[in-house]
Structure 1
Amino acid sequence: MVSRPRRITGVHRSSPALPFTVPVAVPFTLAVALVLTGCGGDGVQGRPGASGVRDPYFPKLGNGGYDVTHYGLKLAYDPDTERLTGTAEITARATQDLSAFNLDLKGLDVEAVSVAASVTGAAAEAGAGEDARWNRAGHELTVRPRDGLDKGETFRTTVRYSGVPETLTDPDGSQEGWLRTADGALALGEPTGSMTWFPGNHHPSDKASYDIVITVPEGLRAVSNGELTDESTRDGRASFSWHTAEPMASYVATVAIGRYDLTRTTTKDGLPVVVAVDPTQAEASRAALAGIPGILEWAEAAFGPYPFSSSGAIVDREDDVGYALETQNRPVFPGAPDTGLLVHELAHQWFGDSVTPGSWRDMWLNEGFATYAEWLWEEDHGGDTAEEIFNSLYSGDYFDDPELDAAVWAFPPAKPSGAANISDSPVYERGAMVLHKIRRTVGDVVFHNMLRGWAAAHRHGNATTADFTAYVEKAAPDKHFGEIWDDWLYGEGKPARP
């Protein structure tokens, strides 16, 4: 994501702001089938799973006791009535004996919950289950199966609910969740908004594959992550089925509903590129979006093989969303993007979407890397070098605003001041400066090998800042990084030496 004004190669531009959420009125019904490893036939009761994973900034986000492996969502939405209905199936593995477990679900009325224990194969697909007890507290939906769920077994929970999908307001003042648009809706989830439109384990540390089917009035289109596997129209309703095979954190899951123009192309290597553009943005977006295959080719040379089975973009109107977000496979843009913003969000497919942070404190591993990708692109395409951008930031003449130049040093990139600051300038610019300091220390060849190696080592997984510093030290054992870690990554204030 990009969230504050920046200057690229001497040109000041305003970059979109981070997502947040505001209440919206939409009746919604969704049934969720959750397959988790659990209950044997011996009636073991276990203990409740944790109601949060103790994230440093969002401690009640996510849940303990199970590991989701698959979400299957079936949704129907009508913009005229603002009604969303659906069914979701979630498959996961229990990591302890469970007497109860939680799902994150915000602002919707639960109608019924059932749990199917020890389901595999055809039985798992059939959706059978027994009614379970449940209760709500805030965004926590606590489910109590009839029998305890054993560690290592599979179980499914079906949740039926209805209500109003909300737009949330984040601590930084931005909006996310279920956003109403001029001709439909847009679901965005960083950092907490996905729980407004489907229940689940909504922390980046728990990734899963997805199948999402969206039914909308004929004439509208529904776009999501992954590949479009089926499209049909019946009785004035159009259905679109999207499949994401690679693990995905829920905060980069998306649904975009509207009158999009959809185009399909491929890269030189045959990678599908699917682009959905609001018709009002088509002309302004055409040239930049045509550059996606070239950007991906450049990024593969810099970061290694593209980590997913398709790419592309979703371009909505500027009034519909106030920021760009790296939704997996096809990032979302508020109006026509420029090349620098495309590079940033496509780089996130490696750094953020494939290599996902272990907690929201590790946000700089997303944004510092994506920002440095912009620097590398400029350097390779006749703009300022990364060294020149680094020096401009350090000297305080990078932005056109002294307050923005000073904001770079507000806190260390690895220690944001709080939940409201995880998308502030130090996470982006100073995070990129950390990478440039490493590059200076090890040289270009070793540094570029590090970028590719880091993306490969944690492909489709999660990583923390500690994982990264250990990786760098192992990759260049003859170099010393103490000053970089102490002064640039974790140190308060502006380091004494550039």
Structure 2
Amino acid sequence: MLLIRPTRPHPAPRFLRRPKAALLASAVTVCLVAAGAPAEPLGVGDRIFPDLGNPGYDVAAYDLAFRYPGSNDKPLEAVTTIDARLTSSLRRINLDFAHNTVESVEVDGRKAAFTSAGEDLVVTPDHALPLGSVTRITVRHTSDPRPADDQDGGWVRTTDGLAMANQADAAHLVFPCNDHPSDKAMFTFHVTAPNGYTAVANGLPTGTVKAGGTTTWSYRSQHPMATELAQVSIGHSAVVHRAGPHGLPLRDVVPAADKKELEPWLAKTPDQISWMESKIGPYPFETYGVLMAQASTGFELETQTLSLFEKDIFTEPAYPKWYIESVMVHELSHQWFGDSVSPRTWSDVWLNEGHATWYEALYAEEKGDHPLQDRMKAAYGASDRWRTAGGPPAKPKPPAPGQKIGIFRPNIYDGAALVLFALREEIGKDAFERLEKVWVQENRDTSVGTADFVRLASAIGGRDLTGFFQDWLYGEKTPPMPGHPDWKQVPPPAPAGSAKKS
């Protein structure tokens, strides 16, 4: 997921967060709610974000249409169309949506009543929706890029337009949705902007249409995607095309004025994809590329098929080349771990970040002469402190209010990569490498959880590893490292000027 760079902290933009009512006990309660009862926000009960997502339906596809006014400090006009299958009988439909204005809602072509409840848009069609039926919900609304208090994520304002950073709980600040990674869907985008702008989104282009002073750009995904991975870039951009391994179409999006300066970095992607394929198998999507945005975010983000980077990371001389390349590989690794194979819950985020950190570190070892074992030994020394501060890798502490990206702490980056290192030491390199390949192949385009990884590791490792993972993923203290009995926890350095105690 999100790769936060501690070397350059930057405050994230804030968005309005409205107070929410308590989560309803079950989907059954949702289904039986009476039409006259007050509208309430719902959720799927995620331990980290309990009000995120909505029970009762499964989204098959989103069609998102945005009209950019030529200024990134004004709301965009938008239409979101959702095709969903009912998994329960519903009298109301809750969608995650906040920080915007709704003009109208239709359900199956007929006007529907709507209201807000917390960060939910609650829709009441003129008829009950039966179990198993397929419904289409169309919402006409604004999509406001302006930041508000006590919220982070959504649109990122760049110097020449916009990009998206919807992780972990912010896609619903941009468009109505079932904003949880357990409900992946197909996406189609239509972005209208004044001539002179370029719009790019996830997936492959399906055409452009010019009409007067505007151009509409359309894109469609060929694989299901979690809402938090959606990406739309609007700016004075150049789109650079090249062929990747096996003819994979690559497209990078960069500020047009900086295309020549950034080309040496863009040219590294084909070899990086080949390197990743040598480790875990074929690239899982229809295209890939990097989006270099003129924005100050403090993080990079693995939006599906088009990873978001700050442009300055590639032009800042303080960053060594090996480090920048390893960060590129981190986000590339997420296309397998986190995008193609998505977390079932946000407590499973260690599967994303631990693996991306693992391949980032492995790449730095093979290409930059920075030994993986040295990094893992340092992580081991700090692991207990990370667990105390952020929780064990598979049971991260919830973020502070208004700081949703606060779940991205060292315990799920190097702390989770340390779990993978321990696993490799426990079952052997050959079994570990086979596990990695089977994991991404068997679970492609799905959402899975920690228990699934434990079962597969046990099957490939040839023994029940439940106890091993229980200690490493959920223990308050870090277990002994297999094969390295000399590795110890390292106390934090004493504050400057403090007296040392004997």
TMscore range, shorter length: 0.7 to 0.9
Aligned equivalent of 1:378: 364
Aligned equivalent of 1:143: 123
Shift of 1:210: 0.6
The answer on whether the counterparts of 1:364 and 1:414 sit within 8 Å (CA) in structure 2 is yes
What whole-Å deviation, never above 9, does each CA across 1:147-201 have from its counterpart, x for those lacking one?
1111111111122223734536778xxx411222211112220012211121010
**Residue 349, structure 1, aligned to residue 329, structure 2:** no
Letter in 1 for 2:67: A
Aligned residues: 446
Matches within 5 A, 1:15-414: 21-22=14-15, 47=33, 51-80=42-71, 82-116=74-108, 129-162=109-142, 164-167=144-147, 175-279=152-256, 281-319=258-296, 321-335=297-311, 336-337=313-314, 338-381=324-367, 383-395=369-381, 406-407=385-386, 410=389, 411-414=391-394
What whole-Å deviation, never above 9, does each CA across 1:328-372 have from its counterpart, x for those lacking one?
001000124421111000000000001100111111111000000
Shift of 1:424: 0.1
| Separation in 2, partners of 1:441, 1:18 | 40
The answer on whether the counterparts of 1:63 and 1:103 sit within 8 Å (CA) in structure 2 is yes
Q: 1:220 to 1:2 in 2, by over 3 A?
A: same
3-state DSSP of counterpart to 2:62: strand
Q: CA RMSD in A?
A: 2.5
Q: 1:312 to 1:170 in 2, by over 3 A?
A: farther
Shift of 1:318: 4.2
3-state DSSP of counterpart to 2:264: helix
Letter in 1 for 2:264: A
Q: Which has the higher strand share?
A: 1
Shift of 1:386: 2.3
Shift of 1:481: 5.8
Letter in 1 for 2:15: V
TM-score (norm 2): 0.83
The answer on whether the counterparts of 1:19 and 1:189 sit within 8 Å (CA) in structure 2 is no
Match of residue 449, structure 1, among 420, 425, 434: 434
Letter in 1 for 2:454: T
Shift of 1:471: 1.5
Match of residue 488, structure 1, among 472, 490, 495: 472
What whole-Å deviation, never above 9, does each CA across 1:121-148 have from its counterpart, x for those lacking one?
xxxxxxxx11112211121111111111
Aligned equivalent of 2:417: 432
What whole-Å deviation, never above 9, does each CA across 1:13-42 have from its counterpart, x for those lacking one?
x36779654369xxxxxxxxxxxxxxxxxx
Q: Which moved more, 1:76-85 or 1:430-439?
A: 76-85
Shift of 1:274: 0.7
3-state DSSP of counterpart to 2:447: strand
The answer on whether the counterparts of 2:204 and 2:287 sit within 8 Å (CA) in structure 1 is yes
The answer on whether the counterparts of 1:115 and 1:155 sit within 8 Å (CA) in structure 2 is yes
| Separation in 2, partners of 1:146, 1:480 | 52
| Separation in 2, partners of 1:231, 1:427 | 41
| Separation in 2, partners of 1:261, 1:405 | 46
The answer on whether the counterparts of 2:343 and 2:349 sit within 8 Å (CA) in structure 1 is yes
TM-score (norm 1): 0.84
What whole-Å deviation, never above 9, does each CA across 1:404-425 have from its counterpart, x for those lacking one?
9954763311111213442000
The answer on whether the counterparts of 2:74 and 2:145 sit within 8 Å (CA) in structure 1 is no
The answer on whether the counterparts of 2:75 and 2:142 sit within 8 Å (CA) in structure 1 is no
Q: 1:163 to 1:387 in 2, by over 3 A?
A: closer
Shift of 1:91: 1.1
Q: 1:352 to 1:77 in 2, by over 3 A?
A: same
Shift of 1:59: 0.8
Letter in 2 for 1:471: L
Shift of 1:113: 1.5
Letter in 2 for 1:88: T
Long gaps (5+) in structure 1: 6-13, 25-44, 117-128, 397-403
Shift of 1:496: 4.5
| Separation in 1, partners of 2:394, 2:384 | 19
The answer on whether the counterparts of 2:5 and 2:298 sit within 8 Å (CA) in structure 1 is no
% identical aligned pairs:
35
| Separation in 1, partners of 2:9, 2:361 | 18
3-state DSSP of counterpart to 1:148: coil
